[in-house]
């Protein structure tokens, strides 16, 4: 992270979905420290306001829009309100995501739709709306989608989530091709094991997971935020259509069973 005398995103505005906690909030804070104005979004209105105040305390402007991205009407409203607040929106980070862990035999149609809406349909709609506005306004913007290591190495009991995130990676490549002529870059970050929920109840899980990672530790939310920031910086403008796996080389290593 840099100091306030060399902020590389001054004058930019970023919408970060799922930015009330965990990875999303850390990403929003990293972008804010680089000078970006932040539009915070999450399901809980009180949590949105809490994140807005925290980002403002960092010296950046922030605005909150509560929205449940499992509900497509909320997704459309989020896009409309974000563009009304920031007609020249420069950065979109599709971070919001969730998984219902269960065997695929047990997935109900309602659970399937819920996970698909949050993890793929809502990012698709937001990308359409925000990218369309970038084109109309001549903004050479940045879009960053969030996937998962599970898109290439399955999680247990997470077929719908992993499949939806795989679709996000395909969407990233296709969007990069279609939006490149307008100077808009589209990239994706795929987190590995990330300790975005600190607390003693997870300590044993993190310790066990770290033994399977060559770098010897679980990832941190800051590791993901650094990758997202890279894709948003002026210097990375020629990088597009990429999915960056941030996993401590976990995907390169198959531990003994």
CA-based max dimension of the chain: 55
Of 232, 143, 244, 154, nearest in space to 191 by CA? 244
Pairing of strands 142-146, 91-94: parallel
Look up residue 126 and give its two tokens: 């937001």
Residue among 100, 72, 93 nearest 163 (CA): 100
Active-site residue (options: 12, 165, 202, 253): 165
Rounded CA separation 63/51 (Å): 9
Structure letter (DSSP) for residue 118: I
CB atoms within 10 A of CB 6: 9
Residue 191 CB contacts under 8 Å (≥ 6 apart), including other chains? 23, 146, 147, 148, 149, 219, 223, 224, 246, 247
Q: Which of 221, 183, 242, 248 minimizes the C-alpha distance to 95?
A: 221
Catalytic residue among 12, 161, 220, 253: 161
Looking only at the bridges linking them, the beta strands covering 62-66 and 142-146 are: unpaired
161 is a catalytic site residue: yes
φ and ψ of 94, to 5 deg: -90, 85
Query: What residues have CB less than 8 Å from 87, skipping those under 6 apart?
Result: 133, 137
Q: Looking at the annotation, which residues are catalytic?
A: 161, 165
């Amino acid at each position: 992270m840099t100091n306030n005398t060399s902020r590389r995103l001054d004058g930019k505005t970023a919408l970060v979905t799922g930015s009330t906690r965990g990875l999303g909030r850390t990403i929003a804070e990293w972008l804010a420290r680089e000078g970006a104005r932040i539009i915070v979004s999450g399901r809980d209105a009180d949590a949105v306001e809490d994140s807005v105040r925290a980002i403002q305390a960092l010296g950046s402007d922030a605005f909150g829009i509560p929205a449940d991205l499992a509900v497509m009407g909320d997704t459309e409203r989020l896009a409309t309100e974000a563009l009304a607040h920031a007609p020249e929106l420069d950065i979109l980070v599709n971070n919001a995501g969730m998984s219902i862990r269960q065997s695929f035999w047990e997935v109900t149609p309602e659970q399937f739709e819920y996970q698909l809406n949050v993890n793929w349909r809502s990012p698709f709609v937001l990308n359409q709306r925000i990218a369309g506005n970038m084109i109309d306004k001549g903004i050479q913007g940045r879009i960053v989608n969030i996937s998962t290591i599970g898109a290439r190495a399955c999680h247990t009991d997470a077929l719908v989530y992993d499949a939806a995130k795989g679709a996000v990676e395909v969407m990233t490549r296709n969007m990069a091709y279609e939006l490149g002529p307008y100077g808009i870059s589209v990239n994706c970050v795929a987190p590995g094991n990330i300790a975005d929920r600190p607390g003693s109840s997870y300590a044993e899980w993190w310790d066990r997971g770290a033994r399977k990672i060559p770098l010897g530790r679980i990832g941190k939310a800051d590791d993901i935020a650094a990758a997202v920031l890279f894709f948003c910086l002026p210097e990375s403008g020629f990088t597009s259509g990429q999915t960056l796996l941030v996993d401590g080389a976990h995907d390169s290593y198959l531990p003994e069973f």
